[in-house]
Amino acid sequence: MVVEIIGGAISKLSPILRGIEKANEYIARVITWLNIVMICLLIYHVVMRYFVGSPSTWALPLTGKLFVPYWMLVGGYVLLQDAHVRMDVLYQRLTPRKKAIMNSFTYLLFFFYCGLILIYGWDWFWLSYIREARFSGLWRPLVWPLRLIVPVSFSLIILAGFSNFSRNLYLAITGRELE
């Protein structure tokens, strides 16, 4: 009885879970285009430095700053693809249902950890926003746009985690994959 109630409730979330997954996939596809921008910036910097003799003061730091959203905003997609590094010595020997049970418990720690990063990341962003903090150096861009990436990316990661958690919980309870 309880299994059917919980399983039915989770199965009703299926369209929402698919939406979360599609949103993370779309963001990852868009963000991967930053690779081309970063490569062009590095080529520009190298050409200006070694062939023209006038290195840019902004191309190299900008490339480093663009790597942050590239790396962080695809975290939810990587989580959904189960592509994070983990030690599979024991895990690989488990049945799919036992893996789902283990994942369901570990996602509770995951939500706690990511929730803390989201909360403190927001504070970190907000403090730099109200203070109009700037990076050091000649260019001195504002800090807050880059720091906003932390709460945004961890919101996406938490949503992806919710999707995975729901799917794992459904498998753990019913023994079937969620459609």
Tens digits of residue pLDDT in 111-152: 999 999 999 999 999 999 999 999 887 778 899 999 999 999
Classify residue 54: in a domain, yes or no: no
Higher pLDDT, 1 or 175: 175
8, pLDDT greater than 90: no
Classify residue 66: in a domain, yes or no: no
Classify residue 6: in a domain, yes or no: yes
Give the pLDDT band (50/70/90) at residue 2: low
Residue 166 lies in domain:
2-32+74-174
Whole-model pTM? 0.87
Classify residue 64: in a domain, yes or no: no
Classify residue 102: in a domain, yes or no: yes
Classify residue 39: in a domain, yes or no: no
Predicted pLDDT of residue 153: 96
In the chain, the N- to C-terminal Cα span, in Å, equals 21
Give the pLDDT band (50/70/90) at residue 101: very high
Classify residue 107: in a domain, yes or no: yes
Domain tally, the chain? 1
5, pLDDT greater than 80: no
d(CA 176, CA 26): 27
d(CA 104, CA 110): 10
d(CA 96, CA 138): 55
Classify residue 152: in a domain, yes or no: yes
d(CA 2, CA 149): 40
